[in-house]
Amino acid sequence: MNFFQDVSVPVPQGPPPQAVLEKKYWWSALEALLSLTAMLQFFTFDLVGGMLTAMMLFLAFMMTTDGMAEMHRYALAFAMLSLLCLFFDMVPLLSSVGGRSEVSVEPVDRESQDNELRITYTTIIKTMPFFDETQGWIYNGGSITMILSPICMLLGAYLSGQAHVEMHSTAMDASRENMAASMEARAAENPRARRFRVQVPSTLLQQGSDGGERTPSDNSSASTLLRFSGPSHRLTPD
């Protein structure tokens, strides 16, 4: 008989474990940072970055509403997206730590000969400090978003990854309990696993070990049912 045919890992639904609920304030801080980062990105005309951050903010709101009831649906996806965005945010940040560079191309010479037009271009690379008061608020706001965005993604990856691990561990514990209960139920239904009851004849218990006669109360207590817990044997015909 297969004891595991009806046992499966349960899908966690409803509120997450207490260890995840205790991180509610950290999730609120993450949502505040994502909101600030998205606004700065839109104000500095980083439309692509602002849309990605707004999408992560919307997903974070979905996971934390209604007592984090939808956390089990999006925790793993949120962690993977946060790690992916973290990678793409760290590349420009690391390359700009020593100073932000702007590249511009300008034509400097143009020659027309016969049917050919030759244009000579000059590439200008201008390196400025990461924060520069002379560049205005758009430049410095972009520098701030380059720092805030990786922080948001790192925090989001940690919180969602920790939530996914906690929920998976809780689901595995519930699966083990269901498996043990199923095995006990099937063992109880198996005739070979049942315990046999043996009733000792009352005539054999009329006398005590000292040879004296027992009282009726002694006889009633001695004639109780005894359980047989030894292994069963099958008798073969001679």
Query: Which phi and psi angles does 149 have, rounded to 5°?
Result: -60, -50
Task: Specify whether the CB–CB gap between 226 and 198 falls below 8 A.
Answer: yes
Task: Specify whether the CB–CB gap between 148 and 40 falls below 8 A.
Answer: yes
* CA 6 – CA 42 distance, rounded (Å): 53
* CA 83 – CA 197 distance, rounded (Å): 63
Residues in the chain: 238
**Can you give the pLDDT at residue 182?**
72
Note the pTM of the prediction, 2 decimals: 0.65
Pick from 52, 61, 62, 43: nearest CA to 82: 52
3-state secondary structure of 154: helix
Report, as ranges of residue numbers, the positions in the chain whose pLDDT lies below 70: 1-14, 173-175, 177, 187, 190-238
Crossing angle of helices 47-64 and 24-43, rounded to 10°: 160
**Can you give the pLDDT at residue 222?**
42
Pick from 42, 79, 51: nearest CA to 63: 79
Judging by DSSP bridges, how do beta strands 225-228 and 196-199 pair with one another? antiparallel
CB atoms within 10 A of CB 190: 11
